[in-house]
Structure 1
Amino acid sequence: MTSAQTRPRRRPPRAAERPRRLTRRRYLVRRATVLGSFLAVVALVYVVLFTSVFGVRGVEVFGTTVLTHDEVRKAAAVEAGSPLVRLDTDEIAARVAALPRVRSVDVRRSYPVTVRITLVERTPFAVLTKPDGVHLVDVDGVDFGVAEVAPPGLPQLAAADPPTIKAAVTVLAAVPDPLRPQVASVSAETVGNVKITLADGRVVKWGSAEHSDRKAAVLGPLLTQPGKVYDVGTPDFPTIS
């Protein structure tokens, strides 16, 4: 008997084994696909969060009138190459807002590699003369800068501290627009004792900033009558002397 005759023949796989092999193969392929996808996501997250591939390439500045773009960028202190997605925009905005001339600021990421800073500068609404120069005060009562010469057309403030400065500019803002160019100065001995001096020398006793809308409505008709002192502190009972 030959060896070929004695060698046992291999049995073909049973019909039940074929589906098992196919199922296992599909499982392995699916597992490899899921693992590959997971690794790809991990790699992408790492690149975005921890490398300079999507890092800051530029800082765009909008809204400046007196400030320069370089001054704003210096205050923002955004490091080139910093991963854009990890930037703390609130912290950047706080640094820019610390510039005295900045009234408001908005910082946004502009993908893929840019930071956009949009700001509104303070504008002088009145001036306050001090020994070191002419201080510029905005409509919020913020003393934000010093100039050698007062800008033309702005009234002079006479107030000693932030509360009285705030009271004075609040009253000035309430003065009707047609009348405001006639205001030469606004004084506030206290927050409840604000006075307006017009360019022609007439004085308006305004009192506190409360009920300013009513006081402004009364003042216009009152000034059409002759007098030197116009008291609208109690708007329902104004007086002229």
Structure 2
Amino acid sequence: MTGTRQRRRPPAPRAGEEQRAALARERRGRRTEEERRRTRARTSARSGRAARAAARKNRPTRGQEIRRRWVALLTVVTLAALGYLLFFSSLLSVKTIEVQGAKTVSVDQIRATAAVPPGQPMLRADVDAIRDRVAQMPGVATVDVSRSWPTTLEIAVTERTPIAFFDSGPGGDGVHLVDGGGVVFKTVKTRPAGLPELKLPKVSVDDPVTRAVTAVLGVLPEQLLKQTKTVTAQTPASVEFTLADGKTVRWGNAENTDRKAKVLAALLTQQGKIYDVSAPELPTITS
């Protein structure tokens, strides 16, 4: 008898159980998300209540608010009063102008040139403009203007120092003083003693020859400068001067001053008429 083979059928999928499990997971997820939202809402509410409580706690009382307003008002009034006092009131206005350093330049002329309006408040006095006006005066080299509170302006000047002069000759307008920068700053009636005379084609601060000559005079040793009577030059490198004893010195340009002065001092101990130190390494004496 032939046995009959029975086939086992695979168990049917438990679709119902899987669906129920999926639904359970979904419900758990929704509950978890909903719990998180509720937690955030409760936290936010607590934070809001805490912030409102802190704001109520820090809110100034009516008395404090009134005091603050009064302080603000008094601050504004004080600043306005201070601004008026500094910029418009006569209490802190210019009452005195002190001039320092003026010897040959007239103090009254300096004050007039400064042109400070009477009673002008100190802070409205334009010290830069005052300085520029005074600096235009011929005898003034430098100017410094400052405020000395409460009511004084100080003007400190450095006058120009003459280093030489030139005579405009017959029909001219007199004898002119020249400073170390070649500036012609003053006219006098007589030749000043102790200053060398410039004999140049022209004398001007814009003239290179004038500047070269005054530069040489500015670096000459004092003893040699006192002996110098006249100075001439045709170019900036051909400065030449005559001493009180009639000797002529060919100096050249304004370079190597110390070397030239030492060489010239040695040469002047020898007989001669023209002493050339324009090239101090190769000095010459001409009889």
TM-score, normalised to structure 1's length?
0.87
Q: Does residue 1:57 correspond to 2:95, yes or no?
A: yes
What is residue 237 of structure 1 aligned with on the other side?
282
Per-residue CA deviations over 1:187-210 (Å, capped at 9, x if unaligned) read 121111110111111111111112
Q: Does residue 1:194 correspond to 2:235, yes or no?
A: no
Structure with the bigger RCO (C-alpha within 8 Å, sep 6+) is 1
Query: AA paired with 1:39?
Result: V
Among 266, 269, 272, which residue is 1:227 paired with? 272
Q: Does residue 1:97 correspond to 2:135, yes or no?
A: yes
Among 59, 74, 77, which residue is 1:36 paired with? 74
- Which structure has greater helix proportion? 2
Among 244, 259, 262, which residue is 1:217 paired with? 262
RMSD: 1.7
Per-residue CA deviations over 1:168-200 (Å, capped at 9, x if unaligned) read 121122222122211111112111111011111
Query: AA paired with 1:150?
Result: R
Distance 1:187 1:21, change over 3 A: closer
CA distance in 1, matches of 2:211, 2:260: 18
Q: Does residue 1:79 correspond to 2:117, yes or no?
A: yes
CA distance in 2, matches of 1:128, 1:222: 29
Among 249, 255, 259, which residue is 1:204 paired with? 249
Q: Does residue 1:27 correspond to 2:65, yes or no?
A: yes
Structure 2: runs of 5+ lacking an equivalent: 1-56
Q: Does residue 1:177 correspond to 2:218, yes or no?
A: no
Runs of 4+ in 1 over 6 A off after TM superposition: 19-22
Per-residue CA deviations over 1:129-172 (Å, capped at 9, x if unaligned) read 11221111122221101111011111111122432222112112
Query: AA paired with 2:129?
Result: E
Residues 199 and 230 in structure 2, CA contact (< 8 A), matched pair in contact too: yes
Residues 182 and 203 in structure 2, CA contact (< 8 A), matched pair in contact too: no
Distance 1:20 1:235, change over 3 A: closer
CA distance in 2, matches of 1:113, 1:167: 45
Residues 93 and 151 in structure 2, CA contact (< 8 A), matched pair in contact too: yes
- Displacement of 1:22 in angstroms is 7.1
Query: AA paired with 1:219?
Result: L
Aligned residues: 223
Structure 1: runs of 5+ lacking an equivalent: 1-18
- Which structure has greater strand proportion? 1
CA distance in 2, matches of 1:101, 1:31: 59
Query: AA paired with 2:193?
Result: P
CA distance in 2, matches of 1:221, 1:107: 48
What is residue 140 of structure 1 aligned with on the other side?
181
- Displacement of 1:214 in angstroms is 2.2
CA distance in 1, matches of 2:262, 2:220: 9
CA distance in 1, matches of 2:58, 2:274: 104
